[in-house]
Chains A and B, each alone.
Chain A
Amino acid sequence: MKANCWMGRNTVEVREVPDPRILNPRDAIVRITSSAICGSDLHLYDGYIPTMKKGDILGHEFMGEVVEVGPRVTTLRVGDRVVVPFPIACGDCLACADGMYSVCENSNPNAGMAEKLMGHAPAGIFGYSHMLGGYPGGQAQYARVPFADFGPIKVEDDLPDEQVLFLSDIFPTGWMGAEMCDIKQGDVIAVWGAGPVGQFTVASAYLLGAERVICIDRFPYRLEIAARAGAETLNYEEVDVLDALRDMTAGRGPDACIDAVGMEAHYPVRAVQAYDRAKQATRMETGRPYALREAILACRNGGIVSVSGVYGGLVDKFPMGSFMNRSLTMKTGQCHVQRYLDPLLNRIREGAIDPSFVISHHLPLDEAPRGYEMFKNKENHCNKVLLRPWA
């Protein structure tokens, strides 16, 4: 089959690889109909996530048709149309019993590797490094899905791929980012990052009852999409974000601040940007956490900082003094996607939201390398690339 493989920094290649086969009784094989490139794939592309090997298949947002099931998969049948959540979860451990699927205790066979860096290991994730399991991803024609009797959600044929594909990651990720803010009546929410996750976060915050949502980025075309979802927007290359937020909230600061950017943030002050870039390039820190720093400083006293942007290791100059003295709370985590599949599919079915609004490009899988370049460099107003493995 064809698959998009990580071949080192800034290089992906569509290669011919063996077809997947069932390794365990609870596996299923899915013929992939749609796959997407995620912002977090760019952290891999840029080489900031450790334990990648040249030839690893990328991709963790995919859906398709079940073509084979293991003997213990009773909930799925050949021919079922499924969306596959990006964190792999067994459904049987304590974490899964608590609904904390992205920290499933059984789905990462390389847990020992992750424990060295993180203390305890999170779940396995498709196409996202060996530390997170060493699973091939879904930017391919087929994928093996472990614990297939638990994770994937069946979807009827009436909804097109474009509307349900993002249940695999970015819609629930945006939703959970907003949900972690415990939104109450009158709350003002600020969202750093107007990429697809930020855009879903804006939409979700309104669905969860926010009074105002303010979105921060530097690309006008992305801010426009966030504005269409209802956000007031700030371009941090034009205004001082902390001043602007203080002004917009009459001095209080937003009730909750969401970092939907993660470890490769940009910053308008060149000296600060150069400092963190140099440290990151020499691997003295793995993340450039400007968005997080600013989110903490901006948040009102006693407010919540919610982090859905991805971090890989260590960050520097964390404003702990501001965080501690002002009674802030931080909530974070890779999205527990399985928790949100049913309720969010219902929202889509009811017409409360049509997730296809984020898509800017459809490409055949063969053109994945061009998709990565375009997405990374924000060329052609690139917002979200959908890949067609069989086109």
Chain B
Amino acid sequence: MSEKNHRMPGRLATTLGWASLGMGVVQLAAPGAISRLSGIDDSPWADKAIRFVGVRELLHAAALLGTRRPAPMTWTRVAGDAMDLTMLGRAVANRDGDRRRRAAAATVAVAGIALADFYTAMRANRSKPGAGPEATTNLRAAVTVNRPRREAYEFWRTLENLPRFMIHLESVESIGGGYSHWQVRGPAHKVIEWDAEIIEDREDQLIAWRSIEGATVRNSGWVRFTDAPGGRGTEVRVRIDYEARAGRLGLAFARLLGEHPEQQVRDDLRRFKQVIETGEVTRSEGSPEGTRAQRQLFQRLAQPVR
């Protein structure tokens, strides 16, 4: 779960959502009034076009009001504004007199709304994880494995095991004295590497680490092992904090963790469970690399892998 400050653009976006709802209802209920106001009531298509825009506004409203993070959805409104401005531009060009004045006034009004939409959407973009300067992201996930606490701890403490279930890790190498060298293959086969040290190691209970001074991406975290109640195995909880500083490498690290970093940590833990319980990462022909958020969106066919 990532913790971020999205509040401000979120509130703006919700307001815009209610505005969409209002506009949509009016456009569907009284298309005639709207077409007169915007000076296009001479066109045989005016009512149809306004009803179409009304339906579109209701879709914006649904998109903006139906999600917990409405700000990015404002881009749908920006697209709608571009469309309206194009239509109004043509209306102004093809008319004269009073109608032209009314169409021009409508264009100015829509342009103002477009600016508000654009501002909100940009704010939303800027508050995406990893994109801001010095933004720290915290990720948490947990899983229960049907294995004794000692075994779970030891599997994790043997750092070389980590790439078996952390799909983005190329390799982890212990270099002695609690230090280790980490390699990640990023987009476009770019290798990102850093050294980390274990800062706390409580046998069968907890391992905490942090990247050492000078790492491209400052990161730290811990994994905690506790007995699940009633002999249900071991509860494994992970927390990862990383600071993606401005700059291309920091961004690449954030992208590595994906647009839903918390999902990827959950997937890592799911694979950890598979490996420690069954000895292998579960693969199907639809997901031949095993559990992976992106693959769940773009499944292969359920047909043998060639």
Which residues does A use to contact B, with CB under 8 Å? 3, 5, 17-21, 23-26, 51, 53-57, 72, 90-94, 97, 105-113, 124, 127, 130, 133-137, 144, 146-147
Whether A25 and B303, one on each chain, are in contact in the complex, defined by CB atoms closer than 8 angstroms, is: no
Top 10 nearest A-B pairs (CB, nearest first) are: A134-B286, A56-B302, A20-B304, A109-B287, A55-B301, A92-B277, A134-B284, A18-B304, A90-B278, A18-B306
Other-chain residue from B278, B283, B302 in contact with A127 (beta carbon distance below 8 A): B302
Number of chain B interface residues as a range: 20 to 34
Query: Which residues does chain A contribute within 8 Å of B177, judged by CB atoms?
Result: none
Which chain A residue lies CB-closest to B291? A109
Q: How far is the CB of B282 from chain A (nearest CB, A)?
A: 5
Total A-B Cβ pairs within 8 A: 123
Q: Which secondary structure characterizes the binding site on chain B?
A: loop
**CA of A51 to CA of B297, assembled, Å:** 10
Whether A106 and B285, one on each chain, are in contact in the complex, defined by CB atoms closer than 8 angstroms, is: no
Whether A110 and B291, one on each chain, are in contact in the complex, defined by CB atoms closer than 8 angstroms, is: yes
**CA of A366 to CA of B291, assembled, Å:** 34
* Sampled A-B contacts (15; CB under 8 Å): A3-B303, A17-B303, A18-B303, A23-B283, A24-B283, A55-B302, A90-B282, A112-B296, A124-B284, A130-B302, A133-B284, A134-B284, A134-B302, A135-B284, A135-B285
Whether B291 and A112, one on each chain, are in contact in the complex, defined by CB atoms closer than 8 angstroms, is: yes
* Known interface pairs A106-B277, A147-B278; A112-B293 also in contact (CB < 8 Å): yes
Q: How far is the CB of A143 from chain B (nearest CB, A)?
A: 9
**CA of A91 to CA of B266, assembled, Å:** 22
Task: Say yes or no: is B2 at the interface (Cβ < 8 Å to chain A).
Answer: no
Q: How far is the CB of B277 from chain A (nearest CB, A)?
A: 4
* Known interface pairs A90-B278, A106-B274, A135-B285; A56-B304 also in contact (CB < 8 Å): no
Whether A93 and B305, one on each chain, are in contact in the complex, defined by CB atoms closer than 8 angstroms, is: no
Whether A19 and B304, one on each chain, are in contact in the complex, defined by CB atoms closer than 8 angstroms, is: yes
Query: Which residues does chain A contribute within 8 Å of B273, judged by CB atoms?
Result: 93, 105-106
Whether A135 and B302, one on each chain, are in contact in the complex, defined by CB atoms closer than 8 angstroms, is: yes
Whether A111 and B270, one on each chain, are in contact in the complex, defined by CB atoms closer than 8 angstroms, is: yes
Task: Say yes or no: is B36 at the interface (Cβ < 8 Å to chain A).
Answer: no
Query: Which residues does chain A contribute within 8 Å of B288, judged by CB atoms?
Result: 23
**CA of A226 to CA of B242, assembled, Å:** 64
Query: Which residues does chain A contribute within 8 Å of B4, judged by CB atoms?
Result: none
**CA of A97 to CA of B275, assembled, Å:** 17
Whether B284 and A72, one on each chain, are in contact in the complex, defined by CB atoms closer than 8 angstroms, is: no
